[in-house]
């Protein structure tokens, strides 16, 4: 402490809120100020959010740079609890000293709540590093004494309880969770989310017991725990009971000093973080604002910043609690934010539900479906990163387009500067953009520097994908080179990763991460690695742990729909189909009650299948000679054609035969994005081939080849690559083009955007594909030949293996696998999910309420329909 330090600031508490406050004070300047931190814990402030990591290893959870505590204006007293506050004489007492203050900041946090039942003294809590050390030692002791995995029961199904249970399971215990509420995470997710979450958690091996209340902890004569007694239920065998039923604000010091406290505890503050005593402030979990105390990182950080700003003469105010949360446990991804429960008057809820798969996505919007109010995500929280900063702002598209379960990429949105990018550290989009541009110092042109400068992405990390995207956008606007790193875990671009995997012969996610990655991967790199491996190796995409890497639809080999059911899309090469096969599709749709629709790709979609029905449906289709149309994958979708010279008087080539050949050649080809091909039999272009990634148009002399077209959000016309080609040359050029695209395109980049990014664009592609300027034509053709020779239909492979079928059968005995709250109507002779207006009871003419799907699986068999060389007889 320096002699010039005259304004004395004392902080009671050594947790994350205290750390953030000291950091904020030092950032603003400590000239003329001394800061004394009184902490009863013997450690430097550490990250309580990551406490579970300490259960299974020696992990340093220290927050920030330890050099902070070497600042001459800062004094940290560890292992020294505060015992009293005198607000009249402005001093804090400890067992060792009396510390005077001019301003006092209470950051005493909270303590773990405990059970008040017989035997509760034999339970453990999960709150501090000491608690974690005790639990780890106890599990090790029990395992040695019992000669088996100890049975650990965690009381409490909230964030802390699930983390504790997961950590105990990692230590080798048989863990179970007991929750009084009817679902896990009942303060974060609604009933639909809870149903999906329960299945996911149960799938990790954790026992789940909801709607049960503990009444006693049973111990034997030696004092060892043997069971947890439950009200109106059988006792739950237990060797270890951990209580994680919430926290209670540690407000005793403040209460004894005469400060006002809330009705449920906590030190009352106003929006400046001042308490009712002059010169006393409160931040973090102990602070009670508008009658509430909240134990989350983001509001604690915001309070710390507000308090530091006020002590430096600023006018910052606390805006209220940001209760956005995200949890990742053993692959279970959960997030909620804003008005997650839809309590705003007149609000609308857009829901995608697949309880059987443990997938639930909901966003809450205003009555006009324009403004985002909140959301819940279970199983796939990918949309949370992009949607969280848009809270309170207008969406730029239909709400459903922002949910990954809809099968598409979310529309790009240019968020306003005031939107919050990082909720943990309250960092706005404008702050990040200004840092990239260097408006307040040196520009931050890489992700690491940007995180250090702004603090965005340094706490829970969920905002890092959006932070990276914002960095790239700002660099592009400035005309600077953008990093092509796949994500923070993989420094290589997708193209570089593809070549590295190919050159080294890597065959698994673990091998790729060991060689090129950091950490365990993320929602960005996992699907990319899965796609790269699938493009190079003919292996079933869901085997050997690859299922967890896939996007939502790939995991079910089907497209998820808005009501939690799936669509079934058999491959119909070139749209050519026999009456016998049409009859099979009709019978399947009729027997399973499926809605049918002919698509623009000349295929028949069947909607409304439950997950457990998919094997029965595909058994009939495969027996009839159908294959998966792979409408769910980033791969070839379909080859569209006109009837060509077979029937049409204007056709100059057999477009149907060519389209069938191309579809059978490229089926199952995994790629950076979906692929579509069109073949037209004459210049009239009835197959709309120039709107496809690959377009083939017949001429009197052969075929013209067009590349780089697509429809969708950013339509593009395909460009002429070569003309008047014979059949063999056409196929060779398409082989080269597709394999070159698969090797060099970025993640989720369509062929049109890929060609735009190539130096030289179409001319470059022509030189590589037609002129073989890189000398890799033979290599590209060989790679395609390997794909063609190793192809096997994914649904046929699934049906042939009982273990693979278990993925679809695991929840077949559940009472229902569709969202029970979904309302259906019947229109034009078919059943479909009702719109929001129809659910409110306003049915237009010709529309009537319909029955819900039959919850019982239908098991039927069908006869095989012979086919000739993959084509229907003509």
Mean pLDDT is lowest, of 318-332, 600-614, 680-694, for 318-332
* Mean pLDDT to the nearest integer, 424-431: 84
Find the helix packing angle between 509-516 and 494-504, rounded to 10°.
Answer: 110
The yes-or-no verdict on residue 872 having pLDDT over 60 is no
Which residue, among 726, 651, 739, has the nearest Cα to 694 in the 3D structure?
739
Tell me which of 260-269, 436-445, 500-509 is least confident.
436-445
Say which residues have a Cβ less than 8 Å from residue 477's Cβ, sequence separation at least 6. Answer: none
Position 203 confidence tier, pLDDT thresholds 50, 70, 90: confident
Closest CA to 155 of 170, 168, 139: 168
Q: Tell me how far apart the terminal alpha carbons of the chain are, to the nearest angstrom.
A: 93
Q: Is the pLDDT of residue 104 over 60?
A: yes
Residues 6+ apart with CB under 8 A from 345: none
Q: What DSSP string runs through 788-853?
A: HHH---HHHHHHT-HHHHHHHHTTTTSS-SS-TT--EEEETTEEEEPPHHHHTT-PPTTEEEEPPP
Q: How confident is the model at residue 90 (pLDDT cuts 50, 70, 90)?
A: very high
More confident residue, 332 or 151: 151
What pLDDT is attached to residue 594?
94
Mean pLDDT of the region 243-257: 94
SS3 543: coil
pLDDT band with cut points at 50, 70 and 90 for residue 805: confident
Q: In this predicted structure, what is the pLDDT of residue 298?
A: 84
The β-bridge partners of 582 are: none
E strand spans, 24-87: 33-38, 74-77, 84-86
- The pLDDT tens digits for 117-160 are 999 999 999 988 899 889 999 999 999 999 999 999 999 998 88
Mean of the pLDDT values across residues 302-312? 94
SS3 of 362, please?
strand
Helix (H, G, I), strand (E, B) or coil at 225: strand
pLDDT on residue 481: 65
pLDDT above 90 covers a percentage of the chain that reads: 52
**Lookup result for tokens 């067992």:** 95
445 has a pLDDT exceeding 60: yes
Helix (H) or strand (E) holding 436: helix 429-437
What's the order of all strands across the beta sheet hosting 74-77? 74-77, 33-38, 7-12, 103-106, 280-282
Q: Residue 869 pLDDT > 60, yes or no? A: no
What does the pLDDT average to over 92-110? 96
Q: Per residue in 35-66, pLDDT tens?
A: 999 999 998 998 887 787 777 666 778 888 88
Q: Work out the pLDDT band at 714, boundaries 50, 70, 90.
A: low
Q: What does the alpha-carbon distance between residue 666 and residue 668 come to, in Å, rounded to a whole number?
A: 6
Q: Is 313 exposed, middle or buried (0-12, 13-18, 19+ CB in 10 A)?
A: exposed
> DSSP for 643-712?
-GGGT-TT--S-HHHHHHHHHHHHTT-B-SS-EEEEEESSTT-TT-GGGSSEEEEEETTEEEEEES-B-T
Using the structure block, give the residue that is written with the tokens 């129809």: 838
Look at strands 7-12 and 103-106 and give their pairing.
Answer: parallel
DSSP character at residue 188: T
The whole-number pLDDT of residue 458 equals 74
pTM as predicted = 0.57
Residue 697 pLDDT: 96
Range name among 5-9, 106-110, 168-172, 851-855 with the lowest pLDDT average: 851-855
Which tens digit of pLDDT belongs to each residue from 563-583?
778 899 999 999 999 999 999
Nearest C-alpha neighbor of 486 from the set 469, 509, 502: 469
Residue 479 has what pLDDT? Answer: 76
Q: How far apart are CA 588 and CA 861, in angstroms?
A: 10
In what order do the strands lie in the sheet containing 604-609?
559-560, 566-568, 604-609, 595-598
Dihedral of the alpha carbons of 753, 754, 760, 765, in degrees to the nearest 10: -130
For residues 625 and 799, is the Cβ–Cβ distance under 8 A? no
Cβ pair 424, 301 in contact under 8 A: yes
> At a CB cut-off of 8 Å and minimum separation 6, what does 196 contact?
353, 354, 355, 357, 358, 359, 360, 378, 379
Higher pLDDT, 459 or 179: 179
Q: Is the pLDDT of residue 544 over 80?
A: no
Mean pLDDT to the nearest integer, 371-379 = 92
Instruction: Determine contact, residues 387/372, Cβ cutoff 8 Å.
Output: yes
Length in residues, the chain = 874
On whether the CB atoms of residues 66 and 44 are closer than 8 A, the answer is yes
The more confident residue out of 274 and 864 is 274
Host H or E run for residue 208: strand 207-210
Mean pLDDT, all residues of the chain: 86
C-alpha span between 743 and 493 (Å, rounded): 11
Rg (CA), the chain: 31
Of residues 863 and 247, more confidence is placed in 247
Using a pLDDT cut of 70, give the percent of the chain over it: 92
More confident residue, 278 or 383: 278
Report, as an integer, the average pLDDT of 791-815. 74
CB-count burial class (<10 Å; 0-12, 13-18, 19+) for 867 = middle
b/e per residue 729-763 (b: at least 16 CB within 10 A): ebbbbbbbbbbbbbbbbbbbbbbbbbbeebeeebe
747: Cβ contacts below 8 Å, ≥ 6 apart: 486, 494, 524, 528, 672
What distance separates the 2 farthest-apart alpha carbons in the chain? 102
Is pLDDT at 33 greater than 50 in this prediction?
yes
The pLDDT score that the predictor gives to residue 169 is 87
What is the H or E stretch that residue 234 is in? strand 233-237
- Which residues touch 704 (CB under 8 Å, ≥6 apart)? 696, 697, 698, 720, 722, 723, 724, 725
**Residues contacting residue 150 through CB under 8 Å, at least 6 positions apart:** 139, 142, 143, 172, 173, 174, 239, 240
Question: What pLDDT score was predicted for residue 462?
Answer: 67
Rounded to whole angstroms, the Cα distance separating 670 from 536 reads 9
Q: Which has the higher per-residue pLDDT, 53 or 221?
A: 221
pLDDT at 441: 79
Q: Give all strands (DSSP E) within 543-594, no chain letters.
A: 559-560, 566-568
More confident position, 297 or 2: 297
741, 677 Cβ separation under 8 angstroms: no
Is 575 within 8 Å of 641 (Cβ atoms)?
yes
**Which of helix, strand or coil describes residue 713?**
coil
Most confident of 289-293, 452-456, 535-539: 289-293
Crossing angle of the two packed helices 159-170 and 129-146, in degrees rounded to 10: 40
Alpha-carbon distance of 103 to 36, in angstroms, equals 11
3-state secondary structure at position 28: helix
Q: Which of 597-606, 628-637, 737-746 has the highest mean pLDDT?
A: 737-746
Residues 303-315 have a mean pLDDT of: 94
In the structure, what pLDDT confidence band is assigned to residue 10 with cuts at 50, 70 and 90? very high
């Amino acid at each position: 402490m320096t002699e010039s330090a005259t304004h004395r600031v004392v902080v009671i508490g050594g947790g994350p809120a205290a750390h953030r406050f000291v950091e904020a004070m030092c950032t603003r300047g400590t000239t003329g100020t001394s800061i004394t931190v009184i902490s009863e814990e013997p450690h430097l402030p550490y990250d309580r959010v990551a406490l579970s990591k300490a259960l299974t290893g020696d992990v340093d959870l220290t927050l920030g740079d330890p050099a902070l505590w070497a600042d001459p204006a800062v004094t940290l007293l560890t292992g020294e609890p505060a015992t009293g506050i005198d607000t009249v004489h402005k001093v804090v007492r400890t067992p060792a000293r009396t510390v005077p203050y001019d301003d006092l900041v209470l950051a005493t946090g909270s303590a773990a709540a405990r059970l008040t039942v017989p035997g509760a003294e034999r339970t453990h809590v999960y709150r501090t590093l000491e608690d974690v050390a005790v639990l780890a030692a106890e599990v090790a002791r029990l395992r040695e004494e019992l000669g088996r995995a100890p049975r650990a029961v965690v009381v409490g199904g909230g964030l802390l309880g699930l983390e504790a249970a997961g950590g105990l399971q990692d230590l080798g215990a048989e863990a179970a969770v007991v929750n009084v509420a009817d679902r896990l995470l009942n303060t974060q997710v609604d009933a639909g989310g809870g149903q999906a979450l329960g299945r996911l958690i149960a799938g990790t091996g954790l026992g789940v017991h909801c709607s049960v209340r503990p009444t006693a902890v049973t111990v034997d004569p030696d004092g060892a725990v043997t069971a947890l007694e439950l009200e109106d239920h059988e006792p739950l065998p237990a060797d270890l009971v951990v209580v994680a039923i919430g926290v209670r604000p540690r407000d005793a010091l403040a209460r004894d000093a005469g400060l006002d406290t809330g009705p449920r505890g906590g030190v009352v503050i106003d929006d400046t973080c001042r308490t009712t005593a002059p010169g006393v402030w409160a931040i973090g979990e102990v602070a009670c604002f508008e009658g509430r105390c909240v134990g989350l990182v983001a509001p604690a950080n915001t309070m710390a910043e507000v308090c530091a700003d006020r002590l430096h003469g600023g006018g910052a105010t606390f805006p209220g609690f940001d209760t956005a949360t995200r949890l990742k446990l053993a692959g279970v991804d959960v997030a909620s934010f804003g008005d997650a429960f839809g309590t705003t008057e007149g609000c609308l809820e857009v829901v995608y539900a697949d309880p059987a798969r443990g997938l639930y996505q909901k966003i809450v919007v205003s009555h006009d479906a324009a403004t985002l109010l909140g959301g819940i995500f279970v199983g796939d929280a990918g949309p949370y990163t992009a949607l969280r900063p848009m809270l309170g702002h207008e969406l730029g598209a239909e709400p459903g387009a922002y949910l990954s379960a809809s099968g598409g990429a979310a529309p790009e949105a240019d968020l306003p500067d005031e939107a919050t990018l990082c909720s943990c550290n309250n960092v706005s989009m404008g702050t990040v953009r200004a840092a990239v541009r260097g408006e307040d110092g040196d520009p931050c042109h890489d992700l690491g520097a940007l995180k250090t400068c702004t603090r965005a992405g340094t706490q829970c990390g969920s905002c890092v994908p959006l932070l990276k995207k914002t960095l790239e956008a700002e660099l592009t606007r400035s005309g600077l080179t953008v990093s092509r790193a796949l994500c923070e875990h993989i420094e290589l671009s997708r193209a570089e990763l593809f070549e590295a995997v190919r050159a080294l012969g890597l065959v698994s996610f673990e091998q790729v991460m060991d060689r090129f990655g950091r950490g365990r991967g993320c929602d960005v790199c996992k699907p990319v690695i899965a796609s790269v491996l699938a493009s190079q190796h003919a292996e079933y995409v869901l085997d050997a742990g690859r299922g967890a890497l896939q996007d939502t639809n790939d995991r079910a080999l089907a497209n998820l729909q808005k009501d939690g059911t799936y669509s079934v899309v058999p491959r119909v090469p070139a749209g050519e189909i026999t009456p016998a096969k049409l009859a099979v599709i009709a019978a399947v749709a009729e027997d399973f009650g499926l809605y049918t629709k002919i698509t623009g790709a000349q295929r028949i979609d069947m909607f409304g299948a439950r997950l457990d029905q998919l094997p029965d449906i595909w058994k009939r289709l495969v027996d009839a000679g159908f294959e998966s149309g792979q409408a769910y994958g980033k791969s070839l979708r379909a080859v569209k054609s006109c009837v060509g010279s077979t029937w049409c008087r204007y056709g100059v080539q057999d477009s149907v035969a060519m389209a069938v050949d191309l579809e059978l050649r490229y089926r199952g080809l995994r790629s950076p994005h979906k692929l579509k091909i069109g073949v037209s039999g004459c210049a009239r272009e009835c197959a709309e081939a120039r709107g496809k990634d690959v377009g083939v148009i017949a001429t009197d002399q052969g075929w013209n080849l067009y590349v780089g077209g697509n429809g969708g959000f950013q339509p593009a016309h395909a460009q002429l690559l070569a003309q008047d080609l014979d059949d063999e040359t056409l196929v060779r050029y398409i082989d080269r083009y597709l394999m070159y695209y698969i090797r060099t395109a970025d993640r989720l980049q369509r062929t049109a955007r890929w060609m735009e990014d190539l130096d030289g664009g179409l001319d470059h592609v022509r030189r590589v594909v037609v002129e073989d300027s890189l000398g890799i034509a033979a290599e590209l053709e060989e790679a395609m030949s390997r794909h063609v020779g190793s192809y096997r239909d994914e649904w046929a492979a699934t049906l042939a293996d009982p273990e693979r079928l278990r993925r679809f059968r695991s929840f077949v005995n559940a009472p229902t696998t569709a969202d029970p709250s979904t309302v259906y109507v019947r229109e034009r002779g078919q059943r479909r999910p009702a719109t929001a207006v129809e659910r409110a009871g306003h049915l237009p003419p010709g529309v009537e309420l319909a029955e819900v799907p039959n919850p019982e699986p239908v098991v039927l068999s069908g006869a095989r329909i012979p086919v000739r060389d993959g084509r229907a007889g003509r």
